[in-house]
Structure 1
Amino acid sequence: MRQYSIPAPVKETPLKPDKGMNHKDTDSFYVPDLCRVRAVFMLLITSELLVLVLAIVQAQNSWIDWNYFGLLSLFVQWTTLTSAALICLLRPRLARMSNSRATMTIAAIVLLDVLAFSLFADSVLHPQPGVALWQGIAKKLLLALLIVLMVLRYFYLQHQWQQQREAEMQARLTSLQARIQPHFLFNSMNTIASLIATNPEQAEEAVLDLSELFRASLRTDDQLIPLNRELELCQRYLAIESLRLGERLQLEWDIQPGLGQQVIPPLTLQPLVENAIYHGIQPRPEGGVVRVEVSAKDHFVYLLVQNPAPESTERQHQGNRVALSNTQARLQALFGEPAVLKHSRQGNTYTVTLRLPRRSINTSNRQSRNRP
């Protein structure tokens, strides 16, 4: 039988934090970053829909008052863009305020903006000011105040929902990281004990590998890590299992170069490799091959884990359900719809495939700091 050696661990490039910038305040601020094109686009679309509703209500002899729609669209779009630009520039300062004070400041910015554009527009359309003019401006200010308060309330609820979602995801990660199975620990300790007398150097390496596995299980701060760190963890795990299973465990690695800084949630690939051994190799007296493949195509990175299919389908389903469901939930929370996890069985081969959007660790850090 062929024996495949485990490749040497890839050295990890340390991450250098940005100097002179503190993003903790802006990350916890409930108002999204209005410097982002998507946020501004959504504001413009929402405001234009509101203008359309007002134009339909204003019309008397037709479905819509197009003159009113055009003038109001011009006024609202300019007000929205200038207000978003001011809030974007002041966001670092607003983030250091309390939520109530930041809300009042944003409302004041929008009202002053509306007042300035109202005075300018009315000075052009109605050169002679009067009581009716000031009543119209007061109505615009009242309407703007109600709208901005509703929008800020929506932002606040979205922020609360996002924090709850991240807390649930962190709880899932903590639960998964604590799930290093007791039988693996006992088997590893027995293997190490048997090696102490015959091969102390190999026993020492196994102890180091085991300690690194448990260190990773206790590290709960990182939501995303470089792929090379996850691969190194898998290599350490497989090195321990190779000591126990011997020639029954054969490994195939096919790692495309240049993907070491691809981001991946911690303990995503290792549980899949663990399931491959527990359900595909351990029950078989003759053992089998576990194949780990990483490749990139277009804007995605594909991670594939293959192992001999277990004889019992029910056992396979029960054993993989927790790991796959946890992994799928974490991928969806971090990457959204572009991230896909699927598993299939073709003949005697069971395959789990992960598809992640291609993103380096530095790019991901910048996006996480700018996310709403």
Structure 2
Amino acid sequence: MAASPLNNKKFKVAFILLFGILTGLQFFALQTFGIPQETALKDSAYSNIILALLCWLISNNLSFYQPTGNKYIYVIIWCMILSVGFCSILEFAFPSINPTNQQYQKFLDLSIPVRYIFSLLLIGTMAAISMLYYNQQEQQELERRKNEAEKLTKEAELASLREKLQPHFLFNSLNSISALTVSKPLEARKMVHQLSDFLRGTLRQEDSLTNLKSELAHLQLYLEIEKVRFGNRLNTLIDAQPNTLDLIIPPMLLQPIVENAIKFGLYDTLEQVTISIKAYFQAPYLIIEIINPYDAKTAHPNKGTGFGLASIQRRLQLLYNRNDLLIAHPTKNQFITTIQIPQT
């Protein structure tokens, strides 16, 4: 059941004020016809109290029943019945207000048709206002539910994307640990601890925004693991301007991109490779560039599933409702991935 408009404080004040004004106007109108003051006051007060109750009745009942299509005719009939009931009360009960005054009795009989039309207009107006109010409430409720459903869907998809990002890196790390267990047990042990710290931090991450400083600290755990895997072949250079460290960024955004850069930068060469990460602010965006070596002759564009960058693109689209915040393009000997994070 929708809340009645009369539960709204402003509407309730306007409702009381309206009937107060109508009572005053009716009182002065009756006096102009020579009706005694006490009789005019009782007639005005009683009739407007009854009208107010009938308006409340139809408004309250419409909260249980909302007509659609051709069923609006039922509301019109309902208003007519209530108006007939109002005039019946006037005709049979109001003569007792001043039974000895023939002038009032005659005026009462002559005013019934006018009062019927007036009451029908007033009750009908209240019915129309109530239907509009309830329809608006219903639309707002539908919109709220739609937004909640979209939010839940978005959160579920974001959670799914995050869950899909982890296994690929985890399997590679476990394979590396397995390979190091015999040849370099100390490094294998170190890598286990680093992997544990990284995964513990990942579990604490949510899809609420974090700052770049925390994201880089988490990324550093990942890079330490990768340096154990690749040894001296992997160098990383992180250049984040001081004014960017407190800027917001979705968590776990950089790791899959850097993983992608390592995969395409190191897998096709035995030489040392430097992965560069640059962060700077260019209002209104935090801009992050991940740069890895690239050789068009040896690169394999179809290698892997391509899920890493695609997932980041999708996350940014879900969070910011834009699909132009990630740009990846090769140059002559570099592959540059650029992310723009809007700052509010």
* Normalised-by-shorter TM-score class: 0.5 to 0.7
Please list, as runs of the form range in 1=range in 2, the aligned pairs for 1:205-244 lying within 5 A after superposition: 205-219=190-204, 221-244=206-229
Please list, as runs of the form range in 1=range in 2, the aligned pairs for 1:102-181 lying within 5 A after superposition: 103-104=2-3, 107-110=5-8, 113-114=10-11, 116-117=13-14, 120=17, 128-129=25-26, 131=115, 132=117, 134-178=119-163, 179-180=165-166, 181=168
Tell me what 2:261 maps to.
Answer: 276
Q: Distance in 2 between matches of 1:183 and 1:315?
A: 21
Cα 1:191–1:228, aligned 2, differ >3 Å: closer, same or farther?
farther
Q: Which runs of 5+ in 1 are unaligned?
A: 1-99, 360-372
Cα 1:195–1:230, aligned 2, differ >3 Å: closer, same or farther?
farther
Q: Distance in 2 between matches of 1:212 and 1:153?
A: 49
Q: Which has the larger radius of gyration?
A: 2
Work out whether residues 344 and 351 of structure 1, in 8 Å CA contact, stay in contact via their aligned partners in 2.
yes
| Structure 1 residues 206-264: Cα deviation after superposition (integer angstroms, max 9, x where no partner) | 32321122224434644322322221121111111112222322222110114333332
> Which region of structure 1 is more displaced relative to structure 2, 161-170 or 343-352?
161-170
Q: Distance in 1 between matches of 2:240 and 2:296?
A: 29
State the SS of the aligned residue for 1:285.
coil
| Structure 1 residues 108-148: Cα deviation after superposition (integer angstroms, max 9, x where no partner) | 434x6345436646877997358455544434433333233
Cα-Cα RMSD? 3.4
Tell me what 2:43 maps to.
Answer: none
Work out whether residues 253 and 291 of structure 1, in 8 Å CA contact, stay in contact via their aligned partners in 2.
yes
Q: What letter matches 2:280 in structure 1?
A: S
Q: Distance in 1 between matches of 2:284 and 2:232?
A: 38
Work out whether residues 211 and 247 of structure 2, in 8 Å CA contact, stay in contact via their aligned partners in 1.
yes
Cα 1:184–1:338, aligned 2, differ >3 Å: closer, same or farther?
closer
Cα 1:125–1:282, aligned 2, differ >3 Å: closer, same or farther?
farther
1:349 aligns with 2:248: no
Equivalent residue in structure 2 for 1:185, among 170, 173, 180? 173
| Shift of residue 164, structure 1, vs aligned partner | 2.9
TM-score, normalised by the number of residues in structure 1: 0.57
Q: Which runs of 5+ in 2 are unaligned?
A: 27-113
Q: What letter matches 1:215 in structure 2?
A: R
| Structure 1 residues 344-371: Cα deviation after superposition (integer angstroms, max 9, x where no partner) | 2222222221111225xxxxxxxxxxxx
Equivalent residue in structure 2 for 1:247, among 225, 232, 235? 232
Tell me what 1:8 maps to.
Answer: none
State the SS of the aligned residue for 2:242.
coil
State the SS of the aligned residue for 1:286.
coil
Q: What letter matches 1:128 in structure 2?
A: L
Work out whether residues 257 and 290 of structure 2, in 8 Å CA contact, stay in contact via their aligned partners in 1.
yes
Work out whether residues 254 and 294 of structure 1, in 8 Å CA contact, stay in contact via their aligned partners in 2.
yes
TM-score, normalised by the number of residues in structure 2: 0.61
Where is the helix percentage greater, Structure 1 or Structure 2? 2
Cα 1:273–1:137, aligned 2, differ >3 Å: closer, same or farther?
farther
Cα 1:205–1:172, aligned 2, differ >3 Å: closer, same or farther?
farther
Please list, as runs of the form range in 1=range in 2, the aligned pairs for 1:87-98 lying within 5 A after superposition: none
State the SS of the aligned residue for 1:271.
helix
Work out whether residues 250 and 289 of structure 1, in 8 Å CA contact, stay in contact via their aligned partners in 2.
yes
Q: Distance in 2 between matches of 1:338 and 1:173?
A: 15
> Which region of structure 1 is more displaced relative to structure 2, 268-277 or 345-354?
345-354
Work out whether residues 192 and 206 of structure 1, in 8 Å CA contact, stay in contact via their aligned partners in 2.
no
| Shift of residue 152, structure 1, vs aligned partner | 2.7
State the SS of the aligned residue for 1:331.
helix
Q: Distance in 1 between matches of 2:295 and 2:122?
A: 74
State the SS of the aligned residue for 2:136.
helix
Q: Distance in 1 between matches of 2:143 and 2:177?
A: 48
| Shift of residue 274, structure 1, vs aligned partner | 0.6
Please list, as runs of the form range in 1=range in 2, the aligned pairs for 1:41-52 lying within 5 A after superposition: none
State the SS of the aligned residue for 2:301.
helix
Equivalent residue in structure 2 for 1:299, among 249, 269, 284? 284
| Identity value in percent | 23
